Amino acid sequence: MSDASYAPRLGVCPACDAAPLAQRLADRAEALAPNRLILSLPDAHCALCITQIEGALMAHSGVRAARVNLTLRRVTVNAPGLTAADLVPVLARAGHQAHELDPDALAQSAGDRAGRDLLMRIGVSGFAMMNIMILSVAVWSGAEAATRDLFHWISGAIALPTVVFAGQPFFASAWRSLRAGRLGMDVPISLALILASAISVFETAQSGHHAYFDAAVMLCFFLLVGRYLDHRTRAIARSAAAELTALEVPRATLISGVVERTVPVADLRPGDLIRVRPGGRIPADGTVLEGQSEIDRALLTGETLPVAAAPGMTLSAGEVNLTGPLVLRVTAAGQDSSLARLTALVEAAENARGRYTSLAERAARGYSPAVHVLAFGSFLGWLWATGDVRLAVNIAAAVLIITCPCALGLAVPAVATSASGRLFRRGLLIKDGTALERLAEVDTVVFDKTGTLTMGQPRLLDPGAIPADLRPLAHALAQGSAHPLSCALAQALEGTPPAVLEALTEHPGRGVSARWQGRDLRLGRAEWLGVADDQDAATLSSWLSVEGQAPLRLDFTDSLRPGAADCVARLLADGRRVILLSGDRAAPVAALAAGLGISEWHAGIDPVGKACAVAALADAGAKVLMVGDGLNDTAALARAHVSLSPASALDAARVASDMVLTGHDLAPVAEALVIARLATRRIRENFAISFGYNVIAVPFAILGMATPLLAALAMSISSITVTLNALRLSGKAR
């Protein structure tokens, strides 16, 4: 549909009006989207890596944008005209290994392999550490001369191969950084491991009293443990993303000429013809060619009523075909479908760019050079003061070990990933990383009504309005249809014996008809019955027609969304201001507000009015969370301090919202505010731990009061403390 051919109209369902506009915007965005390349980054593991990779790519001619996803270890690049072969050497010169991502590879499998590799190296280093510690006990117990040297040599024979093998991730990353002329975070780690090992070999060869093979292996062990904990923390979000695949239809009925066969959805291609039977979920995006039915669009558009489907209508993967068989021509399937785009939002949840992340990146950029300056300064100072090269090298090694920047690098991403993973399991996707920080500042929550506080499960307003003699007829007709209004009517008339009807027939997209004692009966849409419906009514309606009598209008109202009452009550109990803005008439809005305990409500507000209301609140100093369906609330969502949409309006939500509610329950909205405050607190605590540890520990190392072994213990404890502090978000919110 062109812009010129789109004529604005007013209808009873705002979603029906806004859905075509959202579809046109999505189509335009797809048409204008630049070429994208996705490269795998197997060695990326910290905030400094993000800065280096994005900086190197952005400096290359032809690259418009580059965004690293640290959780999935990949970078998405907008670079029209460039290929992976053009960009891989750019990252190699920057000291980072990269290769083109195989779209058929499973990200989870790659993550499992990385986890198994880390576990293997942890096992080797842990086993070696225990054996070396046993030998060290003998030395500490007073072994002298040849016995001590023998134990040192045995320790070295165990430690040196272990450090080479288990430290390979650090050595490889450090070498790539040095080749690129940069001091990455793994450079001081690798230097500390090499120095500790070299000092130990020297001391053993000189029959020295102390060797630090145990420190080198222990340092390697705890570094790997910290890195594995970070890997597992990030894997929380990956496993949560995989849960979305449960919504996908694995197989579809493909029509080939006159033959129908069942094929995997991944084998579908644009232009294929598929058949979708009543009750089935749409397996791919497509256009209806044959058949009429009614479609439940709650998953992707949040429309409160099923939509009549007829030839020419566009349907999306994940929607449910309710009544009649349909033949669709596929327009997008698999990873290109609407449902797959929802899964893609998980990646955006990991790309935090708030002020805390920026602070971590700035600190990491200057941290590595500062560590080397401190270590070199300590070496020169002790060499000048004592003239003892051996002592000076030992102290420099202790400084390098104790100032390992791992804790700083874990401070923000561990918290962000843990929080986003927890919220996703509760049904909430964080689309923008800064949303957590902004969410923690919210003091006012604005709700839309239709599709947000209400669920789209209709309920008959007044069962008593149906005359007693028509109730058996209405019940029998309602039982013959799968339409939600018919189901609601049947539920309301439960207990009334249904009449025995003849020729009961469902007319997809229209209603249901039958005969009773020679009279025609109909239950369905107003236009099918030939009556004029009130398009301005806030209630949903269906019509009952009995031959010889005037049609009877049946009014329905939306059911309350699960968790809405608890969500509002919790927000009010926490002292937040709650406001209801709706385009509906005053009466139903007032009734809903009274039922939820919302004292501030406004009815009859159009989308522009909603945006102006949110802007006025912001101008008054309020930090507003806007919760809307993302279709007719796009302007208000964009103006809010932070915004949230149900998965109902996916296309609009991708443009305007910071978060997406994937489930039906509204309770996670209130919980998200609590988790956001906890996440902000954990980030601050992690920075305090990182900097406080260095303020206390570094002077001890510089003054010669910490051996390399003690430094290894202190550094590892700080990294593990930061990671475990982030994992506290996995617990119950208080």
Q: Which residues are catalytic?
A: 448
Q: What is the DSSP letter of 631?
A: S
Residue written as tokens 């080939």? 256
Beta-carbon count within 10 A of 311 CB? 12
SS3 439: helix
Q: What is the DSSP letter of 204?
A: H
Half-sphere exposure of 159 (CA within 13 A, CB side): 32
| Residue 134 CA from chain centroid, whole number | 46
Enter the tokens of residue 108.
């989870």
For residues 484 and 305, what is the distance between their CA atoms, to the nearest angstrom?
7
For residues 326 and 346, what is the distance between their CA atoms, to the nearest angstrom?
32
For residues 204 and 216, what is the distance between their CA atoms, to the nearest angstrom?
14
Q: Sheet with 273-276: list strands edge to edge.
A: 259-264, 251-256, 273-276, 326-332, 285-290, 314-315
CA dist list (Å): 659 to 14, 616, 654: 21, 22, 9
Nearest in space to 578 (alpha carbons), one of 435, 447, 454:
447
| Burial class of residue 127 in the structure, from the number of CB atoms within 10 Å of its CB (0-12 exposed, 13-18 middle, 19+ buried) | middle
* Strand 511-516 with 502-507, pairing: antiparallel
Is the CB of residue 249 less than 8 Å from the CB of residue 337?
Answer: no
For residues 24 and 530, what is the distance between their CA atoms, to the nearest angstrom?
32
For residues 704 and 402, what is the distance between their CA atoms, to the nearest angstrom?
12
Residue written as tokens 């000048």? 384
For residues 542 and 555, what is the distance between their CA atoms, to the nearest angstrom?
7
Residue written as tokens 């499998």? 109
| Burial class of residue 84 in the structure, from the number of CB atoms within 10 Å of its CB (0-12 exposed, 13-18 middle, 19+ buried) | middle
For residues 583 and 589, what is the distance between their CA atoms, to the nearest angstrom?
9
CA dist list (Å): 506 to 224, 312, 529, 546, 556: 64, 21, 14, 16, 21
Nearest in space to 415 (alpha carbons), one of 6, 724, 2, 734:
724
